[in-house]
Structure 1
Amino acid sequence: MWFKDRDVGISTEFLSKTTESQKAYLNSLELRTVDSMKKFPFRRIPRRVPQNQNKKVKRKEYRMLSDEERENLNKAMNALKSKFIDNVTIWDLHTLIHYPDSAPGAHWGPAFLPWHREFLRQFEVALQREVPGVALPYWDSTLDNGLPDPSDSVLWTDELMGNGNGFVKTGPFQDWDTNVLMPLSPVPVKKLYRYTGGRSTDRLLSLGDVDWIISRKNYSELTFCHDKTFESMHGLSHVWVGGFMFVIRVSPNDPTFYMHHAFVDYLWEQFRQNQQTRYQRERDYARKICTKQHSFYAPMKPFNLRNKDGLSNDYTDFWYEYEPIRHCTEDQPSCDTKYLFCDKRVWRCRSKVQLGGNCTGFSLSDICYKSFCIQGVCRLPATEGNGFQRREKKQSGVVWMKSIMLTDDDEPLLSGIAHVTVRDEDGSEALTYVQRKTEYPEVPGLVYLPLPHPREGSPYTVTLEARDHYGRYCQSYCFNETVERYQICEPKLVIKSRPDSQSSNMSFTHSFVSRKFLDMDLSAHPSMWSVHTPFMVFACHRKMINSAQIMSISEDVKPVIDRTEYVWFRVNVLKKGNSEVDIDESEIEVQDLDDPTDSWISPIRRARSAYDQSIVFVRARNPFVFRRGVSVRISIRNKSKRLKCETRCNMGSTFEDYCENVVFLHERASRSQEQIFASDPSYLQLLGWKMSGHPNDWSLRMAYLSFYC
Structure 2
Amino acid sequence: MAHVKYILRYLTFSLLIWHVVSKIGNIDIPSKLLDCFSDWAKNENIRNIAGENVLHTCMSSFLWKTGKERWSPDFDPNIVKFIAGEVKERNRLIDETSNPKTKTALPSRKPHVRKEYRMLSDEERRRYHQAVKALKNDKRLKPNTYDAIANYHNAKIQLSAHRGPNFLGWHRIYLMTYEDALRKIDPDVTLPYWDCTLDDTMSDPSKSIIFSDHFAGNGDGEVDTGPFKDWTHKAFGKLTRAANNGGELMNYQDVDNILSRNYTSEISVPTAGSLYNIEFHHGKIHTFVGGHLGNLISAAHDPLFYMLHAFIDYIWWRFRNQQEANGIDPSMDYPETDIDGHQANDIMNGFGMYRNIDGYSRNWTRDIYTYEMSPTCSKDQSWSCNSKWLICQHHTGRCVSNGRFSMNRARSKRSNTLMTSTTAELCQIEDIVQDTCFKMNTTIQNTFVLDGIADASKWAYFPIKIINERKQFEKFRAFDVEDGIANQTLDIYDTEKYAELRKYEDHGDMGTYRKCQLSGSGASKIFVDVYGLNYYGFSTDYTIVDERMALSVGYSYLPIRKPTNKPSEAFVAAYDSCGRLCKPYCKVDGTYKRCTATIRINNDTSQHYGKNYAGAFLNTWKFDGDGVPETTDDRVHLVFYCNRKEEWPWQQYNK
Show the counterpart of 1:203: 248
Show the counterpart of 1:341: 391
C-alpha change, 1:29 and 1:50, in structure 2 (3 Å) is farther
1:324 aligns with 2:381: no
Structure-2 separation of matches of 1:249 and 1:43: 39
1:191 aligns with 2:228: no
Structure-2 separation of matches of 1:269 and 1:194: 29
Q: How many Å apart are 1:334 and its aligned residue?
A: 1.9
Structure-1 separation of matches of 2:207 and 2:134: 29
The unaligned stretches of length 5 or more in structure 1 are 182-189, 356-368, 372-379, 392-402, 416-473, 478-485, 491-500, 503-542, 550-668, 672-709
SS of corresponding position for 2:392? strand
Structure-2 separation of matches of 1:13 and 1:354: 35
Deviations 1:546-589 (A, max 9, x none): 6779xxxxxxxxxxxxxxxxxxxxxxxxxxxxxxxxxxxxxxxx
Does the CA-based 8 Å contact 1:404-1:412 persist in structure 2? no
Q: How many Å apart are 1:475 and its aligned residue?
A: 8.0
Pairwise mapping of residues 501-516 of structure 1 onto structure 2 (< 5 A)? none
The alignment's TM-score, normalised by the length of structure 2, stands at: 0.52
Deviations 1:607-628 (A, max 9, x none): xxxxxxxxxxxxxxxxxxxxxx
Q: How many Å apart are 1:30 and its aligned residue?
A: 2.3
Does the CA-based 8 Å contact 2:72-2:156 persist in structure 1? no
C-alpha change, 1:256 and 1:50, in structure 2 (3 Å) is farther
Show the counterpart of 1:213: 258
Deviations 1:205-263 (A, max 9, x none): 01111011111111111214244721111111111010111111221100101001001
1:74 aligns with 2:129: yes
Question: Which residue identity does 1:169 align to in structure 2?
Answer: D
1:26 aligns with 2:83: yes
Pairwise mapping of residues 390-405 of structure 1 onto structure 2 (< 5 A)? none
Pairwise mapping of residues 136-535 of structure 1 onto structure 2 (< 5 A)? 136-181=191-236, 190-199=237-246, 202-227=247-272, 229-276=277-324, 280-287=329-336, 289-303=337-351, 304-329=353-378, 330-355=380-405, 369-371=406-408, 386=411, 407=421
Larger RCO (CA within 8 A; separation ≥ 6):
2
Does the CA-based 8 Å contact 1:292-1:298 persist in structure 2? no
C-alpha change, 1:13 and 1:255, in structure 2 (3 Å) is closer
C-alpha change, 1:152 and 1:76, in structure 2 (3 Å) is same
Show the counterpart of 2:562: none
Out of 128, 132, 145, which is 1:90 matched to? 145
Structure-1 separation of matches of 2:626 and 2:314: 72
Structure-1 separation of matches of 2:72 and 2:203: 45
Q: How many Å apart are 1:344 and its aligned residue?
A: 2.0
Does the CA-based 8 Å contact 1:296-1:307 persist in structure 2? yes
C-alpha change, 1:412 and 1:547, in structure 2 (3 Å) is farther
Structure-2 separation of matches of 1:30 and 1:206: 35
Question: Which residue identity does 2:144 align to in structure 1?
Answer: T
Question: Which residue identity does 1:217 align to in structure 2?
Answer: N
Structure-1 separation of matches of 2:177 and 2:156: 19
SS of corresponding position for 1:139? coil
Does the CA-based 8 Å contact 2:265-2:272 persist in structure 1? no
Does the CA-based 8 Å contact 1:60-1:138 persist in structure 2? yes
Q: How many Å apart are 1:12 and its aligned residue?
A: 8.2
Question: Which residue identity does 1:191 align to in structure 2?
Answer: K
SS of corresponding position for 2:282? helix
Q: How many Å apart are 1:196 and its aligned residue?
A: 1.1
C-alpha change, 1:76 and 1:274, in structure 2 (3 Å) is same
Show the counterpart of 1:507: none
Show the counterpart of 1:602: none
Structure-2 separation of matches of 1:166 and 1:108: 29
C-alpha change, 1:230 and 1:22, in structure 2 (3 Å) is closer
C-alpha change, 1:12 and 1:148, in structure 2 (3 Å) is closer
C-alpha change, 1:99 and 1:10, in structure 2 (3 Å) is farther
Does the CA-based 8 Å contact 1:216-1:275 persist in structure 2? no
Q: How many Å apart are 1:8 and its aligned residue?
A: 3.2
Question: Which residue identity does 2:165 align to in structure 1?
Answer: P
Deviations 1:627-654 (A, max 9, x none): xxxxxxxxxxxxxxxxxxxxxxxxxxxx
Deviations 1:120-178 (A, max 9, x none): 11111111001112110000000001111111111111111100001000000011112
Deviations 1:52-73 (A, max 9, x none): x842211000001001101111
C-alpha change, 1:36 and 1:103, in structure 2 (3 Å) is farther
C-alpha change, 1:14 and 1:489, in structure 2 (3 Å) is closer
Q: How many Å apart are 1:345 and its aligned residue?
A: 2.3
Pairwise mapping of residues 537-616 of structure 1 onto structure 2 (< 5 A)? none
Structure-1 separation of matches of 2:220 and 2:72: 32
Deviations 1:675-701 (A, max 9, x none): xxxxxxxxxxxxxxxxxxxxxxxxxxx
Deviations 1:278-315 (A, max 9, x none): 7611111212x232311111111111100111111111
Does the CA-based 8 Å contact 2:172-2:313 persist in structure 1? yes
Q: How many Å apart are 1:18 and its aligned residue?
A: 4.2
Structure-1 separation of matches of 2:152 and 2:222: 24
Show the counterpart of 1:120: 175
1:62 aligns with 2:97: no
Q: How many Å apart are 1:13 and its aligned residue?
A: 7.6
C-alpha change, 1:176 and 1:341, in structure 2 (3 Å) is same
Question: Which residue identity does 1:195 align to in structure 2?
Answer: A
SS of corresponding position for 1:105? helix
Q: Pick the structure with greater CA Rg.
A: 1
Does the CA-based 8 Å contact 1:62-1:139 persist in structure 2? yes
Does the CA-based 8 Å contact 1:476-1:489 persist in structure 2? no
Question: Which residue identity does 2:388 align to in structure 1?
Answer: K
Out of 53, 67, 70, which is 1:8 matched to? 67
Residue correspondences, number: 382
Identical-pair percentage: 31
Does the CA-based 8 Å contact 2:112-2:190 persist in structure 1? yes
Structure-1 separation of matches of 2:248 and 2:206: 10
Does the CA-based 8 Å contact 2:72-2:155 persist in structure 1? no
C-alpha change, 1:386 and 1:193, in structure 2 (3 Å) is closer
Q: How many Å apart are 1:325 and its aligned residue?
A: 2.8
Question: Which residue identity does 1:220 align to in structure 2?
Answer: S
Q: How many Å apart are 1:103 and its aligned residue?
A: 1.3
Deviations 1:78-137 (A, max 9, x none): 111111245321112211221122211110000110111111111111110011121100
C-alpha change, 1:346 and 1:172, in structure 2 (3 Å) is same
SS of corresponding position for 2:375? coil
Structure-2 separation of matches of 1:414 and 1:141: 23
Q: How many Å apart are 1:488 and its aligned residue?
A: 7.3
SS of corresponding position for 1:84? coil
C-alpha change, 1:50 and 1:246, in structure 2 (3 Å) is farther
Structure-2 separation of matches of 1:270 and 1:88: 37
Aligned-residue CA RMSD (Å): 4.4
SS of corresponding position for 1:282? helix
Deviations 1:365-422 (A, max 9, x none): xxxx213xxxxxxxx7xxxx6498x99xxxxxxxxxxx985548xx89899xxxxxxx
Does the CA-based 8 Å contact 2:208-2:402 persist in structure 1? yes
C-alpha change, 1:10 and 1:50, in structure 2 (3 Å) is farther
SS of corresponding position for 1:294? coil
Structure-1 separation of matches of 2:322 and 2:191: 23
Structure-1 separation of matches of 2:170 and 2:179: 14
SS of corresponding position for 1:88? coil
Question: Which residue identity does 1:196 align to in structure 2?
Answer: A
C-alpha change, 1:412 and 1:489, in structure 2 (3 Å) is farther
